Each structure stands twice: as C-alpha cells, then as structure tokens.
Structure 1
Amino acid sequence: MKLLARYLLKELLVPLVVWVAFLFLLLFVMQFLRGTDVLLGSAVTLVDVGRLILYLAPHFLVMALPIAFLLAILLGLGRLSEDRELTALQALGISPTQLLAGPAVIGVLLGGLMLLLSFTGEPWGLTGVKELVSEVIKKNVAGDVKSGVFYEDLSDLTLYAERVSREGGQWTHVLLHDDREPSSPLLVLAQTGRVNTSVGDEAALRLVLDVGEVHRANRSTTDYSLLRFEQGEISVGLGTSLTRKNRFRSPKEEMTPGELLMAAEEAEKSGGDSRPFLMALHSRLGNAVAPLSFALLGTPLAIGRRQSGRAWGYLLTLSGYVLFYLLSRAFEHMGNQGKLPVVLAGQLTNLIFIALGIFAMWRVSRSGTVR
C-alpha cells in the first residue's frame, strides 16, 4: 500500500506543480495586460515588477490551486485508466474507494494552504499591490513631464517645465496653471520643482516648488493677488482619469477575517447591511473546501471514464470549474440579498459537488473502475 500511495502521489503532484506554475503565469500575464498603461510607464523598474509578482502571488495561488488540482486528478488518474493500470489494480483487490484516499489527503492539505493564504497572505498582498500601483502611477506622472512640453493629464491643471533633469526628475523654470476653481484660477511660477512621491495619500501627489510666486485673478471682479514664496507644496488629486488606472482594487479581499467581522459589526450598529462582509468571509471558507470537493468528484470521474483521451479531461475540468464558479457566484449573490444564510451560501456549492462525488464513487464502485 505504501508503494501504491507513493505512485499515486507522483501521478498527482507532478501535474499539480506544472499546472499551478502555468496558471500562475497565465493569471499574471492577464493581469499585467489589464494594467499596461501603468506597468509599462516611464518610471517602472524591474524591482517594481518583482514586488508586484510577490504581492500578487497569494491571490493567484488561491485562484490557481483548485483548478490545477482538478486537472491533476482528471489527467493523472485518467492516464492510469487509459493505460489499463487501474484494471490491474482492481485485479489485485484495490477498490476505487482506496484510490480516493490520496486525492482526498492532498485536497485537505491544499484547503489548509488556501485558508492560510486567503486569511493572511492575500489581504497583505492585495493591500501592497494597491499601494505599489498608486506609487507607480505617481512616479509615472513625474516621469512623463518632458522638457518644453505642456503636461495636461492632471485634471484641471497644466504643468510646464523648461528643463527636466534625467537623474532626479528636477524641473527648472516651472509654470503651473491651476483651474480647479474656475472663478479664481491660479498661475504659479517657480525657479525649480519636483514631485514628492514619498508622502501623501494614495489618491494625490505633491508638487514641491522652490522660489516663485503665485498669481490669482478673480474673473467676477477686478481683484488680483500676488504672493511670493521660498518653498511651497501643492497637493494634486490624480483625478478619475488616473486613479481608474489602478485596476488592482478589491476592498473586501484586502481585509483580514477580523477586519471583515469588525466591518460587519459596525455596519449593523450604523443600521447598514452586514451581509456583504460576512459573505466575503464565508466565501473564503468555501473556496478553501473546494480542493476536497474536487477530489471527491474528480476521482470517480477520472477512474470511471471511458478511453477518451486527454481532450476529454481538459473539457471536463473546464466545465466542472466553470460550473463551480457560476454556482458559487449565484449563491454568493443570494447570500448578499438575504435569500440564503451566508454560512449555507458559502458552502452550498461544495455540498453539491461532494454529493455528486459520493454518488459517482458509488456508481464506479458498483460497476468497476473502468468500463
């Protein structure tokens, strides 16, 4: 039995690792393409990309592990069925139920890993991604200012620098026209300037200007003001056109379980709806049980299917995962609306797949491992 267990683990773990790596790369490329306007900016470095991969790793692993595990089961055990190895095992008295032990153990271990990642690593990573992308957006704004060119991507502001140094992004002979208050626009002239990206909130950057003057005119009257300064800072909101570039946002996934429970409690106290926060928590629990559900359903499907090649395995995996995803989202929506208890909504898809798996295993055990 130990030899059989090691053999089955090899048949499952090798494709599992390969598929996790492939899906991780696929997910990163898809997310990278969604944010090319930010991640291919003038100020992005390899260090920024490396930090992005590190921050996104927990989130992508949580997404990739269940489908990679289902693929490993259907293709790994399916190969044993196609090569008639399961027939030989059946002749030796190995029942289909005994073959379920290995995938079930791996499913439990993967579920524990996903639970750990979704409760700790994923909130940390997604929070870091949001901060990193906001930082990169600000650096890109600084890097996109060119010598002798009017920069107008900032909402209601026009920025001009006669000369921009390549090393530190220092501006010389700066002109800034601020039209955020149309009735009294500002014209700022400064000897030097730069962008300070190390301070401020994520939705704003600070322009530091040295030795200059501020001109303010009131369009409704003849009032005109002039102010000279040695050094000043102007806080500039990035505006909708730039903040919407940060596509790495998902507030509830950035929250830890404690923060979700606290938010739910505060929502109840203020007369709001606490279900979305509780549903987000129980959805994570449901996702952590998914590998076990896939083990219980995927094993009988893999060992009981006919000689139909790998194409059937890919199709079955894709169909099963799409069905799982659609049911999970449907039940989550019903939980948010109060049509289902949030605890049941979070686990109902797993219960359906487990019930189908038990039925499929009963059919396979009654009719034999292969047909």
Structure 2
Amino acid sequence: MPALKRLFVERFSLIDRYMLREFLLSLTAVIGVLWLIYVATRFARYLAQAAVGNLPAEVIFNLLWLNSLGALSILLPIGTFLAVLLSLSRMSSDNELTVIAACGIDGNRILRNVVIFSGAMAIITGVLALLIVPDVLSGRYEIEQKAKVAANTTGLVAGSFKESQSGDWTFYSQKLSDDKIHMENIFIEIHRDEKPLIFRAERGRFDIETDSGDKFLILEDGYRYEGNAGDLDFRIAEYATHSMLIERGESVQVRERHKSLPTAELWERGEPQDLAEIQWRVSTALMTVILSVIAITLAHTGPRQGRYAGFFPAVLVYVIYSNLLGVTRAWVEKGDLAPWFGAIWVHLLMIGIMLILQNRLKLKRLWQQRKRPKTA
C-alpha cells in the first residue's frame, strides 16, 4: 500500500488528486442514495408479495441482499455520471475551474482525470456485469422460485388435508419436511366432473424447471386412479415416477432466468437473444465512460444559473441513452437488427453528441462565419 500511494502521488498532482477525491466522494453519496431508494422499493414489493402469501417472509432479506448486489452494475454508470456532473458543477459555481484555468491547467487535464476515474468505474462495472452479477441473479432466481413453491404449499400440515387456492385439487401428506419440499405418503385428488383423478405415492417433492420456470410435483412409487370405482372405464396405473405440472412459468421468469446465465454460456449458445444480453452487459461499461465525458460539458453552466442547472439535461441524456440501448436490445432479440451491429450505433451516436457538445463553441463560430455576408 505505501508503494501504491507513493506511485499515486508521483503520477498525479495536487489538483488531480483533489478532483479524483471529489469524484469519489460524490460517487459514494450518489450510489448511497440510489441504493437506498432501490432497496426501499424492493423491500416494499417483497412485503406486498409476502402479505398476500405469494412469498415466504423468511426469504425477504436474502432476496433483498442479492437484489442489491445485482443492482450495482446498473447503479454504477448513472452514479459515476452524476458524480462527475455534480463535482464539476460545484467547482464551476465556486469558480474553482476558473482558478484552475488561470493557473495554466487546460481542459485536457480535466478530461484526463474524468477518463481515468470513469475508466476505473467502467472496469468495475464490466467485471460486475459480465462475471459477478449473473451468479448473483442465478442465486436470487433459485431462491425466488423455491420460495414461490413454498408459498404455494404454505399451510400444509402433516396429517391434514389442504385444498388448492383455485379449488381444483385436494392434497394430503402424512409427513412433510421442514422446507416443505419433500413429502411422504401422498394423496392427491383432482376434482373433475366426469372422471375423478386420484394419485397416491410413497414419496414426492417439488421441483422447478430452471429454463421455463414451470413448477412440478414429482411423485415416486405410486398409483394413479381415474374414474369412479365400479365403472367399466375405471383405470388403475402403477408408476415409478410421475410429474404433475402445478404452475407454468411466466415470460418474466424466463427473462429473469436468461439474465442470470453466465456470459461464457451465452457466447457459446450464440442465439440473437444471447448476443443481445452480452451487448447489454458490455454497454453498461461503455456508457459509464461516454456519459462521464458528456458530464464535463453539462457541468460548465453560465453565470447565475446555479450548480444544478445541468442536472435536468443530464437526466434527459441518460434516459435517451438507456432507452436506445433497451430498444436496440429488443431489436437484436427479435432478429430485426444484426447482432454484429447491435448497440454499436447507439454508442457511436452518443459519441457524436459528445463531440458536438465539446466543440459547440467552435461550431457556433463557424456557423456565424458562414452566415456573415461577404464584403466586396
């Protein structure tokens, strides 16, 4: 650490260290506020689900912790963007940038510090989005699915009958595990007007198909009775394993599962939706740098405008940027846009806007010169 600190002091001047420190302090404050808002929103949503019985209360904090980790790859780009904007806006309103320029430090120095800071945050964002967050989302997905299955079985008591919420079937288990996943001596009656259907099994367990999110009840070593006893079409079938579909997975669950797949697996599959997911993860790192450079221009406000004058344009730029990436992602998934082109055009567009904003004064002078009438 001392050697690293010495290298940092040697490579960066006092002004550079001051700017980087301001960026870091602002990033900590912004990320803290955004993270608290995100956690509070998620917590309220989980409480609502637990209140109606769709989610066991004991898994709320586990899901909240995994969700907060998974959100870092989304919060870091906008947090870095706002941190650079707020820091430079404060320095501009306090005339610190004017003093720095009077000391002979040009704008390229500020640009270098912003690129260094945002580049470091982009590397962290890239590592999170490509490597860490998919594992976190995978763990969250499994906990959510198991929790929903447990919620569906909430109220199951060993040795007592339980009717489903829809009233379509009646369930009985002589012995039930603590996690309400494994059971013994199972009896199930499915209510049908024409032919009653009854299942009996020695053992059973709940299972979830990870890709589709479909929920199954797996019965082992049992019998299947169909019809009324004494009828000619009464049937008895013996089975070693029988799967019963309890609930089909929703499209939202399929998308959540896809987001949790490792980047290497997505690359090997190579489908349009897989490549679209990879491009989205890479784009979070790229937009961190591009937005931070744009923040330099938005932070230089005019006199008597205040340090928050560029905040609304900054939010507008971020909304446009993220929405364009989202639309492009949908186009690639549907096959309407070539995967190799993908989100490249969005980044090129934002880089073009960034260059226009940085050179707007030069472009304005050139435009005025062209409109100025020529004298004979």
In structure 2, do the counterparts of structure 1 residues 168 and 120 end up closer, same or farther at CA, with 3 Å as the change threshold? closer
Kindly provide the amino acid, as one letter, of the partner of residue 356 in structure 1. I
Aligned residue number for residue 360 of structure 1: 357
Q: How does 1:144-163 map to 2 (within 5 A)?
A: 144-145=155-156, 150-153=162-165, 156-159=168-171
Q: CA deviation at 1:110?
A: 1.5
Alignment identity in percent? 20
In the alignment, is residue 302 of structure 1 matched against residue 299 of structure 2?
A: yes
Name the CA distance, whole Å, in 1 between partners of 2:359 and 2:37. Answer: 36
Q: CA deviation at 1:338?
A: 5.8
In structure 2, do the counterparts of structure 1 residues 102 and 253 end up closer, same or farther at CA, with 3 Å as the change threshold? same
* 1:144 alignment partner, SS class: coil
In structure 2, do the counterparts of structure 1 residues 4 and 155 end up closer, same or farther at CA, with 3 Å as the change threshold? farther
Aligned residue number for residue 9 of structure 2: none
In structure 2, do the counterparts of structure 1 residues 260 and 215 end up closer, same or farther at CA, with 3 Å as the change threshold? closer
Name the CA distance, whole Å, in 1 between partners of 2:363 and 2:101. Answer: 12
Q: CA deviation at 1:346?
A: 1.6
Aligned residue number for residue 289 of structure 2: 292
Name the CA distance, whole Å, in 1 between partners of 2:103 and 2:178. Answer: 73
In structure 2, the gaps of 5 or more residues are 1-11, 365-376
Name the CA distance, whole Å, in 2 between partners of 1:313 and 1:303. Answer: 8
**Which residue of 257, 260, 264 maps to 2:263?**
257
Q: Are 2:46 and 2:60, in contact at CA under 8 Å, matched by a contact in 1?
A: no
User: Deviations 1:144-201 (Å, cap 9, x if unpaired)?
Assistant: 336977522368423368x99997869999863224x7753224589xx99745x664
Name the CA distance, whole Å, in 2 between partners of 1:168 and 1:330. Answer: 41
* 1:316 alignment partner, SS class: helix
In structure 2, do the counterparts of structure 1 residues 245 and 256 end up closer, same or farther at CA, with 3 Å as the change threshold? closer
Q: CA deviation at 1:139?
A: 1.6
Kindly provide the amino acid, as one letter, of the partner of residue 190 in structure 2. D
Q: CA deviation at 1:98?
A: 1.2
Q: Are 1:296 and 1:357, in contact at CA under 8 Å, matched by a contact in 2?
A: yes
Aligned residue number for residue 140 of structure 1: 151
Name the CA distance, whole Å, in 2 between partners of 1:259 and 1:115. Answer: 17
Aligned residue number for residue 339 of structure 2: 342
Aligned residue number for residue 274 of structure 2: 277
* 2:115 alignment partner, SS class: helix
Q: CA deviation at 1:58?
A: 4.5
Q: Are 1:293 and 1:353, in contact at CA under 8 Å, matched by a contact in 2?
A: yes
Name the CA distance, whole Å, in 1 between partners of 2:294 and 2:263. Answer: 29
In structure 2, do the counterparts of structure 1 residues 235 and 156 end up closer, same or farther at CA, with 3 Å as the change threshold? farther
Name the CA distance, whole Å, in 1 between partners of 2:33 and 2:253. Answer: 23
Q: CA deviation at 1:45?
A: 5.0
In structure 2, do the counterparts of structure 1 residues 221 and 20 end up closer, same or farther at CA, with 3 Å as the change threshold? same
Q: How does 1:109-188 map to 2 (within 5 A)?
A: 109-145=120-156, 150-153=162-165, 156-159=168-171, 176-179=188-191, 184-187=195-198
Q: Which moved more, 1:318-327 or 1:346-355?
A: 346-355
Q: How does 1:88-107 map to 2 (within 5 A)?
A: 88-107=99-118
In structure 2, do the counterparts of structure 1 residues 95 and 155 end up closer, same or farther at CA, with 3 Å as the change threshold? farther
Q: Which moved more, 1:117-126 or 1:247-256?
A: 247-256
* 1:345 alignment partner, SS class: coil
In the alignment, is residue 239 of structure 1 matched against residue 247 of structure 2?
A: yes
Kindly provide the amino acid, as one letter, of the partner of residue 217 in structure 1. G
* 1:312 alignment partner, SS class: coil
* 1:145 alignment partner, SS class: coil
Name the CA distance, whole Å, in 2 between partners of 1:328 and 1:58. Answer: 22
In the alignment, is residue 60 of structure 1 matched against residue 57 of structure 2?
A: no
Name the CA distance, whole Å, in 2 between partners of 1:176 and 1:184. Answer: 14
Aligned residue number for residue 369 of structure 2: none
Aligned residue number for residue 331 of structure 1: 328
Name the CA distance, whole Å, in 2 between partners of 1:325 and 1:49. Answer: 29
Kindly provide the amino acid, as one letter, of the partner of residue 295 in structure 2. G
Q: CA deviation at 1:323?
A: 1.0
Q: Are 1:78 and 1:302, in contact at CA under 8 Å, matched by a contact in 2?
A: yes
Q: CA deviation at 1:206?
A: 3.7
Root-mean-square deviation (CA), in Å? 4.1
Name the CA distance, whole Å, in 1 between partners of 2:147 and 2:342. Answer: 38
* 2:189 alignment partner, SS class: strand
In the alignment, is residue 217 of structure 1 matched against residue 223 of structure 2?
A: no
In structure 2, do the counterparts of structure 1 residues 323 and 151 end up closer, same or farther at CA, with 3 Å as the change threshold? same
In structure 1, the gaps of 5 or more residues are 265-273
Report the number of matched residues. Answer: 347
Q: Which moved more, 1:111-120 or 1:32-41?
A: 32-41
Q: CA deviation at 1:220?
A: 12
Q: CA deviation at 1:104?
A: 0.8
Name the CA distance, whole Å, in 1 between partners of 2:266 and 2:28. Answer: 32
Q: CA deviation at 1:290?
A: 0.6
In the alignment, is residue 8 of structure 1 matched against residue 42 of structure 2?
A: no
